[in-house]
């Protein structure tokens, strides 16, 4: 075989971007992931606009519904989708193999973050595009804080997803992240605001990442405001889950 001399790594940024691209394409090629990332959020959007559940919380049903749906998109991709794929990659030794290449462990994690952000960007494009056609009228001042909240929420949910994926079997990760997606989606204050939830859940959801992200996005897109409490809660989840993942994540 050809003798090639000198082994050297590609530059750090190139390695990370390549990995992010590869993981994003893998996510987008996965049918179940697409259902979770795009189809179910759109169905929830339709459901919330044809039922009177959100009446009285804002000027129109769709204006109240869309921010929560965007938050749901972040939870789908960062927590459930990314958690499940990481869990199975761990099972098949993919994480171990890639950590022996120049990519390394930090590159792997950076690549995952890029992949989550890239897929989330596509989700926002599609969901917001369809919502605008259906009559969504967000507060123009809400886009900047809204996108900031979305990224912060995605970061917190990514840390949570990695924590689950790195500590239990992939089958358990599959069950836990899907179950939590349904529970938090229905009762976690993400698409259905706290006032419309059963009594005991009303106060509790403010402290959940789902409730904080949902409320933070509603404050942004309904009123153009930054919800300081939601930012704080999401930061707290990010730090705690991130530290726990760093501490307990098992690579094999």
Partner 1 sequence: MVSDVSLVAGRGEVTALLGANGAGKTTTIECAQGLQKRTGGTISLLGEDPGNAGADLRSRVGVMLQDGGLPPSARPLPLLRHIAGMYRNPRPLDELVQRLGIDAFSRTTVRRLSGGQKQRLALAAALIGNPEVLFLDEPSAGLDPQSRQLVFGLISELRNSGMGIILTTHLMDDAQRLADYVYIIDAGRNVAEGTVAQLLQHRPDMTRKDHIRTLHFEALPGLDFAGVLPAEVEIRETRAGSYSATGVLTPEDLAALTAWWAAHGVMPGSMSMEARTLEDVFLDISGREVR
List contacts with partner 1 (CB under 8 A).
1-12, 14-15, 18, 22, 26, 29-30, 88-89, 92-94, 96-104, 107, 251-252
* Cα–Cα dist 49/53, whole Å: 9
Closest to partner 1 by CB, 19 vs 63, is: 19
Closest to partner 1 by CB, 108 vs 156, is: 108
Closest to partner 1 by CB, 60 vs 99, is: 99
Q: How far is the CB of 20 from partner 1 (least distance, A)?
A: 11
* Cα–Cα dist 222/69, whole Å: 14
C-alpha 177: how far from chain center: 12
Q: How far is the CB of 19 from partner 1 (least distance, A)?
A: 8
What does each C-alpha distance from 131 to 7, 26, 44, 54, 66 come to in angstroms?
50, 26, 12, 16, 7
Q: How far is the CB of 120 from partner 1 (least distance, A)?
A: 21
H or E element in which residue 1 lies: none
Q: How far is the CB of 117 from partner 1 (least distance, A)?
A: 19
Q: How far is the CB of 4 from partner 1 (least distance, A)?
A: 4
Closest to partner 1 by CB, 5 vs 59, is: 5
Closest to partner 1 by CB, 1 vs 50, is: 1
DSSP 11: P
Burial of 167: CB neighbours in 10 Å, binned 0-12, 13-18, 19+: middle
């Amino acid at each position: 075989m050809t003798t090639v001399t000198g082994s050297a790594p590609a530059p750090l940024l190139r390695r990370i971007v390549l990995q992010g691209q590869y993981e994003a394409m893998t996510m987008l090629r996965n049918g179940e992931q697409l259902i979770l990332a795009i189809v179910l959020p759109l169905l929830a959007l339709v459901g919330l606009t044809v039922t009177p559940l959100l009446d009285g919380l804002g000027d129109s049903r769709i204006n109240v519904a869309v921010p929560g749906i965007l938050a749901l998109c972040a939870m789908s991709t960062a927590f459930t989708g990314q958690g499940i794929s990481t869990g199975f990659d761990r099972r098949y030794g993919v994480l171990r193999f890639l950590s022996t290449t120049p990519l390394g462990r930090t590159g792997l994690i950076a690549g995952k973050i890029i992949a989550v952000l890239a897929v989330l960007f596509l989700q926002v494009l599609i969901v917001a595009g369809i919502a605008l056609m259906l009559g969504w009228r967000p507060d123009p001042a809400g886009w900047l804080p809204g996108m900031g909240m979305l990224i912060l929420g995605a970061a917190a949910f990514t840390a949570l997803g990695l924590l689950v994926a790195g500590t239990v079997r992939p089958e358990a990760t599959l069950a836990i992240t899907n179950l939590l997606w349904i529970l938090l989606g229905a009762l976690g204050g993400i698409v259905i605001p706290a006032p419309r939830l059963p009594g005991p859940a009303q106060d509790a959801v403010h402290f959940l990442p789902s409730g904080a992200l949902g409320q933070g996005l509603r404050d942004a897109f309904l009123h153009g405001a930054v919800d300081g409490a939601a930012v704080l809660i999401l930061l707290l989840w990010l730090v705690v889950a991130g530290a726990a993942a760093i501490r307990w994540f098992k690579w094999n």
